Amino acid sequence: MERVGFIGLGTMGEHMARNLLRAGFPLTVFNRTASKAEALHAEGAAVGASPREVAERSDVVITMVRDTPDVEAVLFGGRGVAEAAHPGLLAIDMSTISPDATRRLAERATAAGFEMVDAPVSGGPSGAESASLSIMIGGAEAAVARAMPIFRALGKTIVHIGGHGAGQVCKLANQICVAVNNLGTSEALVFAARQGIDLERTRQVIAAGAGSSWSMQNSAPKMLAGDFRPGFSIDLQQKDLRLVLDAADAGHTPLPGAALVHALYNALQAEGRGGESTLALITVLERRAGVQARV
């Protein structure tokens, strides 16, 4: 089996790395906060001192970090992956970053002597833990085929979208749906609360009908319970929506729904709530309606 390196052991990355270890891949991990690698080390993973050291020990290096500058730093910064480029090295970026930047990074990787694939994911921490992620892939056919055994250890829906950057474009399209569905669910529940009807019964019937969505089925119960503990945070959603809106502006594409959700999340960030779950969006509407949608 290919030797795999995994860089970025956050909420998603730790689960993903553990699934690779369980699937039998020889694994070397790195995280900027070294203590986050301790649990995986105890389970059998090696720990690298830098991205360069991870690349030296690996045939395939996966990055799962926060934003475009972080991916660039891991790949091409000091003690980065590029410093240990060797024949056959494949870098798979599973972060959510700019599609244009992804294409540029792929070109730099080729010039540095290694290959790159973009493979962002959807499914959240629960999907990462259960190895049921949806994986959207951009890159060359041969590189994607080579990476398939790794992807199968991480997800269930695995689709090669197209060339470099295509995976990131698909992920941003996904994030538009996530954001707008979250707003639709929030509006429906606040409307029902203002009208005084039973909220859980309302949720159940909508979730079973034409108005259903993943948000209504899975997020609405947490909204109704007032559970806004960090899962996928507002700050991360805002990063993704900014990528969406930047790409939309460059292509003169009107996205009024995504822009509205971004503005509403700005209000929560201004209150210092950026670390809360994206489900806290409902509280902005509740305040304006003068009602709480809770059961």
For the annotated catalytic residues, the residue numbers are 171
C-beta separation of 31 from 8 below 8 A: yes
Alpha-carbon distance of 265 to 177, in angstroms, equals 15
Taking alpha carbons only, the member of 173, 286, 177, 268 closest to residue 230 is: 268
Structure tokens at 20: 């690779």
Alpha-carbon distance of 93 to 7, in angstroms, equals 10
CB neighbourhood size of 49 (10 A):
10
C-beta separation of 116 from 167 below 8 A: no
CB neighbourhood size of 260 (10 A):
13
C-beta separation of 174 from 269 below 8 A: no
Main-chain phi, psi angles of 59, to 5 degrees:
-90, -35
Instruction: Return the CA Rg of the chain.
Output: 20
Structure tokens at 268: 């929560």
Please, which residues bridge with residue 103 across strands? none
Q: Which amino acid is at 182?
A: N
Sign of the four-CA dihedral 179, 135, 25, 21: positive
Alpha-carbon distance of 130 to 133, in angstroms, equals 8
Please list the alpha-helical segments (H only) found in the chain: 13-22, 38-42, 51-56, 68-76, 99-112, 124-129, 141-152, 166-195, 199-207, 214, 220-225, 234-250, 256-270, 281-289
CB neighbourhood size of 145 (10 A):
10
